[in-house]
Amino acid sequence: MIKKVSHIGIAVKNLQEAIAVYQKLGLEVEGIETVESQKVRVAFLPVGKEVRIELLEPTSDDSPIAKFIEKKGQGIHHIALATDNIENELKMAEEQELSPLDKVPRPGAHHASIGFLHPRAMKGVLLELCQEKDG
């Protein structure tokens, strides 16, 4: 079951510069990590108790985030919805013809298991389903 909005992923060219901008709004960095499998460095900035801004900086020119920035520029990359059963959500998405890009979950940032739904099926939005480490 979908539980909440987990985070909003924002593609940026320079993580430190982007962090500085969001800190001007009073947001603070919860943590920074590198996700080797996705070729990104990620900074997490909580907004309230439930939602995070996730700043995504490519670590390689062939990173999906680098390709996104090259094609569309910096900006919102995806919206993530938290679920308590990622495997079931991906299966249901396939049954509902929502074009999952992942048939099985893969490791994501913040120790989550993730899977994406294609923007064509989601009215132009890359949607991430994620099962967070605590759920």
| CATH code for position 84 | 3.10.180.10
Beta bridge partners of 80: 7, 128
Among 69, 79, 77, 107, which Cα is nearest to 10's? 77
Predicted local confidence at residue 123, as pLDDT: 96
Q: Say whether pLDDT at 36 is over 60.
A: yes
Range of the domain at 109: 2-131
Mean pLDDT, to the nearest integer, of 94-123? 94
Mean pLDDT of the chain, nearest integer: 95
Q: What is the mean pLDDT of residues 120-135?
A: 89
Residue 110 has pLDDT above 90, yes or no: no
Look at residue 29 and tell me whether its pLDDT is greater than 70: yes
Total structural domains in the chain? 1
Residue with tokens 């048939």: 103
Does the structure show a pLDDT above 80 at 8? Answer: yes
For the segment 32-49, the average pLDDT, to the nearest whole number, is: 94
Note the pLDDT of residue 134. 64
Question: Do the beta carbons of residue 14 and residue 56 sit within 8 Å?
Answer: no
